[in-house]
Structures are given as structure tokens and as C-alpha cells.
A and B are shown apart, each in its own frame.
Chain A
């Protein structure tokens, strides 16, 4: 696993993509810090960190890092080497994931020096290092989850550009989740129909991933039947249900709120770690599926 991790990291650095993205992220972070903490004389480092999320910096940069992760192996047929190595599939995916995450997190690690520098000039003693590092931690966790999504998208196709576009599309969908929730009808029927439709989509995904029609039918039928049964039993359960779900899993909101308010939010930690683990797991399954098809 370590060998693959080192090879990936080396490839990012010597292939320039990692360096370019790191420089871009650092430049943008530096710009925010200069504007927020220097020019505006704000003692809140977390504000400038928040802008990394709010101004699409991660949304734009992470796909460029993750797009080649697995797609390039498929395109160049080197995945056969990985498959033939005495290394379990989950270690291959983890190595690739952590290599991508290292490249994503490296600029954030450099940014970790900035609060200390700012603290040197904090003569009024109003700057909170805890809030600053909490903000960096939250952004790092968000980036970890986004990287897992990016690596997953890279496992779907062999064209890097398409992998990047898929990643950006997923990120934008997640970014505007609260807007979608706000625009969504709150009626019980709309929620029920949406959940049944979501069950059908889930079945489609299962079918595409496993080619097993029985599993797909179960993945569609069970939740759909459950929804319909519950709807018949008590339709008020469904009133505003989908918007509520969307609000509660709002991907970027947890990071934004805990960053900007300087609050360590355990829910965010659990959420992002879970999302990262889930997408790494799904990526492993996608890679395994490649061996079966």
C-alpha cells in the first residue's frame, strides 16, 4: 500500500498537476488572508478559511486532483498491474485516496502556519487560535469527503476530463442542496413520490454496479413499498420530509457553520468521515466490479 501511495504522490508532484493545484490553492488562500486578516484587520482567521469553501475553491480544485486517480490507470491499462499485485483492492484504493488527499491537504497544512504568524501581531489578544485551527480542521474534513467523492468519480470512467466533470457536477449538486431543499414542495405526496423515485434510482445504480436484477429489484422494491405503506398509514409523516432530509444532510452547510462560528461540531466530523468512508468503500466495489465485468 505504501508503495502505491508513494508512486501516486510522486506522480502528482512530477506530473505538475499537484504542484499547480497546490500553488493555486495557496495563492487564493493567501489572497483571502491578506484581504480579510491584513487589509481589513480582522482577527478571525476562520473567515478567510471559510471563503475557501464559500468561493468554490475546493469545488474547482479537488476535481483536478482526483480526476486522474483511477481513470488514468484504466486508460493506460496499468490497472492490470495493480490487479495482479499481491495487494488487496481496498489497499490500492486507500493508497490512491490518501495520495490525493495528501495533495489536497498539503496547502491547508501550509495555511496552518498563518494563524501563528497572525497571532504574533495580535497585540489586542482577540484572536482565537482554537477557532482558527477548528476552521482548518473542518475544511480539511470537508476536503477529505470531497476527495473521496472525486476518487469515486474517477473510478467510473477512463476519461479524466469526464471524471472531473462528474465530480464538479456532484459537488455543485451538494453545494446547492439547501437551495434545492428550499425550492422543493413541502406536500406529503411530493415527498412520497420523490422517495419512490429515489428508490428507483437506487435500484438503477445497484443494477449498473452489480448487473444483478434481483438485487436491483430489492433495492427499488423494498424502500418504495415501505414508503407507500407508511404513506397509506399516516401521510402526515411525509409532509416536508424531503426538504428536511436535504437540509439535514446539507454537505457544505455543516462545515460553513462550524467554521464561521468557531464551533467544533462533532456531527460534521462524523458526517464527513462517514461520507469519505462510504465513497472509498463504493470505489473499492467499483474496482472489484471491473474484475467481474
Chain B
């Protein structure tokens, strides 16, 4: 639906957007993320035709924004970062103007404006001057403006910025409604909001695209290891011995040994072997007749993902390409291995050292890295070699 190819934007000598390419599929809500100054608004402005790119091409439903901007703009509704409102107009007058300017048929204008006002909840203030409206209502009028003309694509630049929690909730619900039958791209600094609303996320950092995929896939591509939270009806020593004996566990820690005879542990293993390791751990405990009370995988939240993607890296070309490859390749499990072979990324991950929790006398130390050498998924640079699990494998 939207195809961005090799988009570059320079302001004088400053490179705001650096050769980014991505595609946005129809019927999804995309979150556009990036630190301040990353190039989000610039990219949005270029996609909507408000800015001209220095290089690159934008296709909206196969219509080039550069060659036929009028036709391409008909397919897009846009709410810029600052809602472009005429303060001397009422919402009714303003939306009528936008409808006329967008070429809505004259006999449809009244109905169309009434519909978007009802959808955005501005009907009750339609006769008040925009300058007298609260920020929340202004934002709604801005969104209503983007909806006028029933465009297939709606692009919203920080639509909930500056709103109170109640207004945010309402706008989120509205965006969810919009996303049912349209493509919506929104940028936001509120990551939980993006996590809640968006089907996919696009991350830009320092003008470069660093990810474009579902959150799950991006998370998987960034995380070579899965951390499982395990609770068993066993002593800490038994638990440690059993887990340590499971082939494929790269590290673990005993979190808690409760008085009721249960023990909690965090177990780390290669993400690609999730199901296999769950089964192995479960069977290992059943072999010694100890019950597994719960197994759950620690989910990464969007903030963790965002920080991994945008911080500490200078986003040189390789980083961006690698991340994109990783994001793209996560359509299949096989591709995970490719993503996890990136050197250096794992430096940011915390490896729990059981020695810190269990002491040196837990026995059975063995260099498990050697076992993992054959495992493509765990071939991740220096960390694997450095790690010496306290409880050796079989």
C-alpha cells in the first residue's frame, strides 16, 4: 500500500533521513517510533507530500507521490505534529473547508462532515470557535480533518501528545476503530500506547530504519535467548541439579526457595529451541517425580526493544541493515538463526550467573559452550565462550 524506496532527506548538510526503505501493508496499524530528532516527522511529512525528498521514491497504492502528488494525496489523511487548525473557524466550518478542498462531492459534504464529527466526538462543539476549544478537542478536530474524504491511509503524528489520560484512552479507541478498515500509521512517544494499539512497528534512529515488523518478531530477532520463569515443587538443590542436567540450557538461576517446598528459577536457553526445552525440562522433573507448577516465558516490553534498537548504537549502515534483515527474516523460524548471528548485539543482554546465587559448591561445572558449538542459534560471539554454567550438563 505504501512503498518507500531509498528515501533520503537533507536539510543543508544535515542528513535527516538516510536512505530508508520499507513497505506498509494495508489494513494494519503501524507504530512509528524513534528518539526525538530521529526523522519520524520528516519521513511522515515526505510520505504525505508536505516535504519533498532529496532522493528516493514514495508509492501510495502504486501512485508516485513525486509524479502524481494530487492523486497520491487523495489516498492519505494526515494529522501533523501540530494540528493545522484555523482558529477563527468553527470545527464545522473547518471540516467543510477541508472536505471541499479534498474534492468531496458537494452533495456528500454535509453527511461526510457529520460522520467524522460523530466519529471523533466533536459534534457537540461544532459551533464553537476552534481557538476556544481545549487541546483534546483540537486534537480530535485534527484527526477528523485527516478522516475527511475517507482516505485509505491515515497518518497521525503524535496524536495523543499533550492529552490527559482520559483523552488518550478515547483517542486510542478512535484509532483502533480507524484501523479496522484503513491503514493507520501513528507516531508516539508513549511506547505502551504503541504496544497496545499497533499491529506492527517501524523504528527509525538517526535517520535510518532499524526495524519494521511485528513487535514479537523484532523482539525475537533481538533476543537470542529466551528466559523462562519456572516454579517447581522441589528443593533448590534438586531444581538446580535437574535444570543443569538438561541439554540446551545455557544458564539458570534459582530465584527463590519457598518454605512450602516450591522453588522458582529463571532458565535461559536458545529461543529457537523453546518448545524442545520446555518439554525436556518438564520430563526431567517428572523423572524424579517433581511437579512443574508453572512455566512462563518472560516477555520483553516495547521499551526494552526500543532501547535496544535505538540506544548505544551509532546506527551505522551495517547495524541498520542487520536489524532490518533480522526483522524481515523473522517471518520464519529458520531465519531466527540468521538474526542471532549478529556480532556484538548480545553485549547488551544480561546473563545471569548462577554462581552469584548458589555459591561455588553446587558442583557439576562444565563448559557448556562446547556443547552449543553445533547449535547455529547460539553461535553468538564472545558471550557463549565466556559463559561457564555452574551446573554442568549431561
Question: Which residue numbers of A lie inside 8 Å of B, CB to CB?
Answer: 2-4, 6-7, 10-11, 14-15, 76-81, 83-88, 211, 288, 291-293
In the bound complex, do residue A84 and residue B88 qualify as a contact, i.e. CB atoms below 8 Å apart?
Answer: no
Cβ contacts under 8 Å, B73 to chain A: 84-86
A15 to B97, CA, bound (A): 17
Does B362 belong to the interface (CB within 8 Å)?
A: no
Closest residue on chain A to residue B11 by CB atoms: A293
**Extra A-B contacts (7), CB below 8 Å, given A3-B101, A86-B69, A86-B74:** A4-B101, A11-B88, A77-B80, A80-B50, A80-B84, A81-B145, A86-B103
Write the chain B residue with the least CB distance to A85.
Answer: B101
The list of the 5 closest CB pairs from A to B, nearest first, reads A3-B100, A81-B84, A86-B73, A83-B50, A3-B101
Most central of A10, A84, A291 by chain B CB within 10 Å: A84
- If the complex has contacts A3-B101, A85-B73, A86-B70, are A11 and B86 also in contact, measured as CB distance less than 8 A? yes
Min C-beta distance of A187 to chain B, whole Å: 42
User: In the bound complex, do residue A291 and residue B50 qualify as a contact, i.e. CB atoms below 8 Å apart?
Assistant: yes
Is chain B's binding surface mostly helix, strand, loop or mixed?
loop
Q: How far does the alpha carbon of A293 sit from the alpha carbon of B78 in the complex, in Å?
A: 20
Please give, as numbers and ranges, the residues of chain A lying within 8 Å of B82 by CB-CB distance: 77, 80
Interface assignment of B251: CB less than 8 Å from any CB of chain A: no
* Nearest-Cβ distance from residue B158 to partner chain A, whole angstroms: 13
Partner of A84, one of B50, B71, B97: B50
Contact with A along B1-45 (1 / 0, CB 8 A): 000000000011000000000000000000000000000000001
- Per-residue 0/1 for B36-75: is the Cβ within 8 Å of any A Cβ (1 yes, 0 no)? 0000000001001111100000000000000001110110
A82 CB to nearest B CB, Å: 8
Which residues of chain B have C-beta atoms less than 8 A from A85's C-beta? 73, 98, 101-102
Assess whether B185 is interfacial by the CB under 8 Å rule.
Answer: no
Q: Is B355 an interface residue (CB 8 A)?
A: no
Cα distance A67–B387 in the bound complex, in angstroms: 70
Are A3 and B88 touching (Cβ within 8 A)? Answer: no
B169 within 8 A of A: no
Query: Contact between A291 and B70 (Cβ–Cβ < 8 Å)?
Result: no
Interface membership of B85, Cβ < 8 A? yes
Given A3-B97, A7-B97, A77-B80, are A84 and B49 also a contact pair (CB < 8 Å)?
yes
Chain B residue numbers with a CB within 8 Å of A81 are 80, 84, 98, 145
Q: Provide the residues of chain A in CB contact with B97, threshold 8 Å.
A: 3, 6-7
Q: A36 to B351: give the CA distance in the assembly, Å.
A: 96
The residues of A that contact B86 with a CB separation of less than 8 Å are 7, 11, 76, 78
Least distance between B223 CB and chain A CB atoms (Å): 39
CB distance from A263 to the nearest CB of B (A): 43
A/B interface sample: 30 pairs, CB < 8 A: A2-B100, A3-B100, A3-B101, A6-B100, A7-B86, A7-B101, A10-B93, A11-B88, A15-B88, A76-B84, A76-B86, A78-B84, A78-B86, A80-B45, A80-B80, A81-B145, A83-B48, A83-B51, A84-B48, A84-B49, A84-B50, A84-B78, A84-B80, A85-B73, A86-B70, A86-B71, A86-B103, A87-B101, A291-B52, A292-B52
